[in-house]
Every structure is written in C-alpha cells, then in structure tokens.
Amino acid sequence: MNKEALYIVSKIKIAEILLIGCSAGGFSIIYDLVLNFPENFPLPVLIVIHRSRKYKSLIEEQLNLNSKLKVKMAEDKEQIKKGIVYFAPPDYHLLVEEGGSLSLDYSEPVLFCRPAIDATFQSAADVYKEKVIAVLLSGANEDGAEGIAYVSELNGLTVVQDPDFAEMRTMPQAAIEKANVDLILNNLQITELMNEINQVKNLLE
C-alpha cells in the first residue's frame, strides 16, 4: 500500500461523519451514492443540495423507499446518528452543533444559496475537526469551495468530483483551486471510496 493509500485509510479510521454537497448536475450521483450505501454503513451522512422551497422535492421519500439506510430531511435539534442520511431542508442552512446535534438556520444566503454547502461543511468541521470526510460534487457556482478548504485546514479528508466527470464543473473546479484537496475522483471512484469507508470502519468494530 502506497503512502497516499495509507493516509486515506488512516483518515477513514478516525472519521465520524460524512458530508456531501452538490448543486446543479449532482442529483443523479447523489441518488447512486445513497442507494449504494450498505445497511450497516458506519457513519452519519449529511447531504446539502441547493433547492428552493418553491419547488416540491420528494428526494428523501424516494430514496428512503429504496435505500438500505434511513433517509430523511434533517430536523432542528435532532441528534446525529450513524447509519442515517440527513438532507438539508430547502431554504434552511443545516448546521452541526457541539454535542453532535443538528440546527436549522435561516440566516442570510451564502453565495445566493440557502441551504449553503459552505455553512454545513464549516460548522461540521468546527465540531468534528479531523474526523470529517467531505465530498463536493457537481454545481454551477462556487459554494462549497470555502467549506472544503476549511475542512482541509482542520485535517479532515477532502474529496472532489473530477470536473471532467461533473455535469457542471464550476463547483468542483473552484474547490480544487481554493483547497488542498486530498482526492479528485471520477464517479465510479467516489462510489468505490464509499465502499472502502464501509469496509475499513466495520473492520474496526
């Protein structure tokens, strides 16, 4: 095993939360990732997708029917539990608080986005420090770049979708330019990383 692979495994071993952010062009890979999670997936998963309350979205209900994990919209003051996929509600920032609970925040949009990926990534990194795995996917603006840079500064594991494989390359490209990203992966490699997280973490239990 080379140095990079050893480093990735070492970060997975200590990880306590998985964050995923995307905007335009990211829905299909989000579906694929969530449906790929095994029933004993060992981390809580927080997902932020840019969406407005003006448009009815049934993504949580659809995925919950077909996923091996429980999939739900995050609720204010809810305690974070492993093996559950939490989606940020439309028009609210999803924040992580000390003690491992969720908070819904209606403060100003970040880069015209609420929920903002930056807000979730930064608040989770403040609480979990180096025990964060953050994944940024396709999107049409630069939200998420500052957040993933912050996760990197606190020594979390940072993963960005290869812009050449993203439907909209602006978001992953901005992250690569702004942050010291650990991994730049195509869609299949991202799925393989999720499987590796499951295998490594479950070997420790």
* 130: DSSP letter: G
Of the residues 118, 143, 152, 182, only one is catalytic, namely 143
Based on the residue annotation, tell me whether 93 is a catalytic residue of this protein.
no
In terms of DSSP bridges, do strands 101-105 and 93-97 run parallel, antiparallel, or are they unpaired? antiparallel
Question: What is the band of 2 on the pLDDT scale with cuts at 50, 70, 90?
Answer: confident
Q: Answer yes or no: is 2 within a domain.
A: no
Q: Answer yes or no: is 1 within a domain.
A: no
Instruction: Give per-residue pLDDT as tens, 67-108.
Output: 999 999 999 999 999 999 999 999 999 999 999 999 999 999
The pTM is what? 0.96
Based on the residue annotation, tell me whether 162 is a catalytic residue of this protein.
no
Q: Answer yes or no: is 161 within a domain.
A: yes
Based on the residue annotation, tell me whether 143 is a catalytic residue of this protein.
yes
Of the residues 23, 123, 138, 152, only one is catalytic, namely 23
Q: Smallest Cα–Cα separation from 148: which of 182, 197, 115?
A: 182
Q: Give residue 54's domain range.
A: 11-204
CA dihedral 89, 79, 96, 154 (to 10 degrees): -130
Instruction: Give per-residue pLDDT as tens, 39-70.
Output: 999 999 999 999 877 666 688 999 999 999 99
Q: Answer yes or no: is 145 within a domain.
A: yes
Give the chain's domain count.
1
Q: Answer yes or no: is 3 within a domain.
A: no
Secondary structure E strands in 65-185: 70-73, 84-87, 93-97, 101-105, 132-136, 157-161, 183-185
Q: Answer yes or no: is 6 within a domain.
A: no
- Domain containing residue 182: CATH number: 3.40.50.180
User: Would you state the pLDDT for residue 55?
Assistant: 61
